[in-house]
């Protein structure tokens, strides 16, 4: 797994903190759904999971349907 994929997997597995409290981890499908958006909109933040999450939220209106659905499914 390359560094970018690892950072993205870590980020998506921690979406958001209340989801972790419920014991839910980002599924491979959720990770795949947002990987392209994270690379496109948040390339500079990929090493910082919280920054990537904030970046994706700031770009919410521009996200792909699949990534937007991930956030929506987590109540975001």
**Is residue 17 within 8 Å of residue 25, measured between CB atoms?**
no
Q: In this predicted model, what pLDDT tens digit does every residue of 17-72 receive, in sequence order? A: 434 333 334 678 887 898 899 999 999 988 777 788 889 989 999 999 999 999 89
Give the model's pLDDT for residue 13.
58
Give the model's pLDDT for residue 2.
61
| Distance (Å, whole) CA 15 – CA 18 | 8
Q: In this predicted model, what pLDDT tens digit does every residue of 7-30 receive, in sequence order? A: 666 666 555 543 433 333 467 888
pTM here?
0.64
| Distance (Å, whole) CA 53 – CA 16 | 8
Is pLDDT larger for residue 74 or for residue 37? 37
């Amino acid at each position: 797994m390359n560094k970018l994929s690892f950072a993205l997997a870590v980020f998506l597995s921690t979406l958001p903190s209340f989801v972790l409290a419920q014991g839910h981890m980002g599924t491979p499908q959720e990770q795949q759904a947002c990987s392209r958006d994270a690379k496109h909109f948040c390339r500079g933040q990929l090493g910082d999971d919280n920054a990537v999450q904030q970046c994706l939220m700031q770009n919410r209106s521009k996200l792909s349907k699949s990534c937007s659905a991930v956030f929506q499914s987590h109540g975001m």
